[in-house]
Structure 1
Amino acid sequence: MMNRRGLIGASLVGSALIGAKASAAETVTRLDGPCVISTWDFGVAANQAAWAVLSKGGRALDAVEAGARVPEQDLKNHSVGRAGYPDRDGHVSLDACIMDELGNCGAVAALEHIAHPISVARKVMEKTPHVMLVGAGALQFALEQGFQYEELLTPDSKAAWEAWKKDAKYQPKANSEVGDYGKTTGQLGTPGGKGNHDTIGMLAIDAKGNIAGACTTSGMAWKMRGRVGDSPIIGAGLYVDNDVGGATSTGVGEEVIRNVGSFLVVELMRQGRSPEAACREAVERILKKKPQAKDIQVGFLAINKRGEVGAWAIQSGFSYALCDGRKQDTLLPGKATYPVSA
């Protein structure tokens, strides 16, 4: 697989995925046929797992579940799944949601001891009359469904937590993994940046033209016990309307929740906005209501029914991965309202 810098270079120079400009300020990226998009550089590997389903005529829902499981099981990824950094009390808790083309959805929040929350979320959707299960109830349900009980606090994550406790400062930094305490801190979009973040959001269109989405995270490192961000909340971290398109988000979830961000993006696309324009307006609404949000990161990624893709973030450094029948390993930098903070 190409490295991250190579992927960005390939995407910007002569990529077949870049379409004609809709205006001087907007570039339309359009994918053909079955396709999948996802947030951040770890979305490249996730997309390839999803493509293994889509390329065989599989359902978009199966594709996004398969793709989301990749970062969930990656022991080098400290922001999603089994290797996620813990809350300030040392507990690893995971959040996820999934949504299909029919509007069915399922979610889990504050789920401990289960490595694949995205698959539990799907079980909630398919096996219960509910949309979301949380905490101990979510764990009970997962165990009843045959998921394995595991200790998720890995040695690396525990070491980072022990280092954090020396100062116990909670100050999320835009585009950095855990501030000053992780071994792989760095800003995505800058040379050497590792780009481990807080969420993977994924959207897919299958051969039948149906759309599904998934979102999964371990949340912010060192959060208060019980904190839940936008990732498992339908309409905030993820929203799909099969007649219009889908959207997902990443970054500081509190700001996304306050604006019901992903639902907003889809509704703006319904009104005729391009995916990029819709994502940009969602970001600018956050900033209008709360100007100090310019110092944190929120990014949106969207795809419409025609396969047009767009993204926008508060700060530069956000990236997203694209995959269709022509290319499975493209990474693009997202546009932003502000440059990365010093």
Structure 2
Amino acid sequence: MWGMIATWRMALEGVEQSRTLLANHQSAGDAIEEAIKAVEDFPYYKSVGYGGLPNEEMEVELDAAYMDGTSFDFGAVCALKDVANPISVARKLSKQAVNNVLVDQGAKAYAQKEGFEQKEMLTDRAKIHYHNRLVDMKQEQLVPYAGHDTVGMVALDAHGQMVAGTSTSGLFMKKKGRVGDSPFIGSGLYVDSQIGGASATGLGEDIMKGILSYEIVRLMKEGKHPQEACEIATFSLEQELIARRGQAGDISVVAMDHQGRWGSASTIDNFSFVVTTETEGTVVYRTKRDGQRMEHSVADQEWLDRYLADRMQPLVVRKEGEDE
């Protein structure tokens, strides 16, 4: 049995490419890296890789992580600039005995030394988003932060090996050097080939408070189905945050166990995820919350087409007083 699950519709094309790898009994590690690279390379997905939205100083700082569920090898980069594929750098770091997590200039120096592609990651389209957000903030008293759709994946290969990976540009207009949950083991991702794996997306500052991905794997270890584990962990954390702090940020998760069973939960209404398995093919699901339970429905072609069209529509620089 083999399979893969990933956050958001934006993962679809990458997951479909990696389905071929998994069907040919290639490794979960190769499948995860190639699927995430496809998202990183697509300029119209504004929360990951090339075209990712910048920080408040209009710099694109990228975070990524890779974890091997068999060896527990782990690598991550934080606030990496001007490198095409952070997930590949994170995977390379996971093979090191030490120095597995590198940040900012240290991460960039390592990537340069190892020959990873250097690339200006700030696109003209992202600059327009940045400018228009400044206009919006002046007119509507908006907070700068918006857009934190991490791509996170868990893969199981035909050999029973499991891997998890994440990649993101983080919060739009974040403080320089800000890092969320995505590159942190236990929060943004966690995987154990004997149990299963999970990955999270949403407001990293809140996800880290519950070490959410590890908690989902822990619940699966106790015998919970991935769907039940996702629901228990996600909604328990949400309730705890509200009880202690009065509010909770957006939280969404995906998980797959070592049998290829999967699950997902979200505190928001517009979360989507992609699943491919040996028996199911590749399917995009949309989620709807019903109390402490989730209802998943297959996304129809009209929604899939609109999703991509919305993200690829032309942008214009707005002036103060102009409507969006």
TM-score by length of 2: 0.83
Q: Which residue of 2 aligns with 1:139?
A: 108
Out of 227-236 and 43-52, give the one that drifted further: 43-52
AA aligned opposite 1:79: S
Give the counterpart of 2:179 among 219, 228, 234. 228
Selected match of 2:30 from 55, 58, 62: 62
Distance in 2, Cα, partners of 1:293 & 1:301: 22
Gaps in structure 1 of 5+ consecutive residues:
1-32, 179-196
SS of corresponding position for 1:133: strand
The equivalent residue for 1:71 is 39
Check whether the contact 2:144–2:173 (CA below 8 A) recurs between aligned residues. no
Q: Say whether residues 1:109 and 2:78 are aligned partners.
A: yes
Partner of 1:283, secondary structure, is: helix
Aligned to 2:143: 170
Structure 2: distance between partners of 1:112 and 1:337: 40
Contact 1:235–1:261 (Cα < 8 Å) also in 2 = yes
The correspondence of residues 17-96 of structure 1 with structure 2, limited to 5 A, is 33-96=1-64
- Looking at structure 2, the residues matched to 268 and 157 of structure 1 have their Cα atoms a distance apart, in angstroms, of 39
Contact 1:313 1:337 in 2 (8 A): no
Deviation of 1:337 after TM superposition, in Å, equals: 5.8
Distance 1:338 1:91, change over 3 A: farther
The number of residue pairs the alignment matches comes to 284
Match in the other structure for 1:319: 272
The alignment yields a C-alpha RMSD, in angstroms, of 1.8
Q: Percent identity?
A: 33
Answer yes or no: is 1:284 the counterpart of 2:235.
yes
Distance 1:266 1:150 in 2: 36
Shift in alpha-carbon separation, 1:326–1:306, aligned structure 2, 3 A: closer
Where does 1:118-137 land on structure 2 (aligned, <5 Å)? 118-127=87-96, 129-137=98-106
More helix, by proportion:
2
What pairs up with 1:232-247 in 2 under 5 angstroms?
232-247=183-198
Query: What whole-Å deviation, never above 9, does each CA across 1:36-93 have from its counterpart, x for those lacking one?
Result: 1101101211211221211211011111011110110001110010110000110100
1:283-302 paired onto structure 2 within 5 Å: 283-291=234-242, 292-294=246-248, 296-302=249-255
Alignment of 1:177-256 (within 5 A): 178=147, 198-256=149-207
Q: Is the 8 A contact 1:276 1:311 kept in 2?
A: yes
| Stretches of structure 2 lacking an aligned partner (at least 5 in a row) | 293-324
The separation in 2 between residues aligned to 1:222 and 1:98, in whole angstroms, is 25
> Which shifted more, 71-80 or 164-173?
164-173
Query: CA–CA distance in 2 between the matches of 1:143 and 1:338?
Result: 48
Give the alignment's TM-score, normalised by structure 1.
Answer: 0.79
Q: Give, in angstroms, the shift of residue 130 of structure 1.
A: 2.4
State the Cα deviation string for residues 94-153 of structure 1 (Å, max 9, x = none): 001011122111010110111200000011111452221111100000000101222111
